[in-house]
A = this chain, B = another copy of it.
Amino acid sequence: MSLVAGLIAIGAGIAVGFGAIGSGIGQGIAAGKAFEAMARQPEVRGTVQTFLIIALAFMETLTIYGLVIAFMLLNKMS
């Protein structure tokens, strides 16, 4: 295994590690505000639940893009 594999590993780490920072903070803000909305207006609960899941999924995919790139980089290492 040559030295290039080490640099690819760092690239994979950046792709999946930094990508998760924004998604994590974003999901926390979205979920937190959703709980607040549920508490303030209980009858809107159904819509908020649906869109919370949609928003969490949108943010999750941001990190999954990084995960995909990281996996593809891992395949290049061998």
Which residues of chain A have a CB within 8 Å of any CB of chain B? Answer: 1-45, 47-49, 51-56, 58-74, 76-78
Residue of B with least CB distance to A26: B28
Q: How far is the CB of A48 from chain B (nearest CB, A)?
A: 5
Contact present for A64 and B65 (CB under 8 Å):
yes
In the bound complex, how far is the Cα of B41 from the Cα of A70, in angstroms?
43
Contact present for B73 and A9 (CB under 8 Å):
yes
Contact present for A44 and B47 (CB under 8 Å):
no
Residue of B with least CB distance to A53: B54
In the bound complex, how far is the Cα of B60 from the Cα of A22, in angstroms?
12
CB-defined contacts of A4 to chain B, threshold 8 Å: 1-3, 5-6
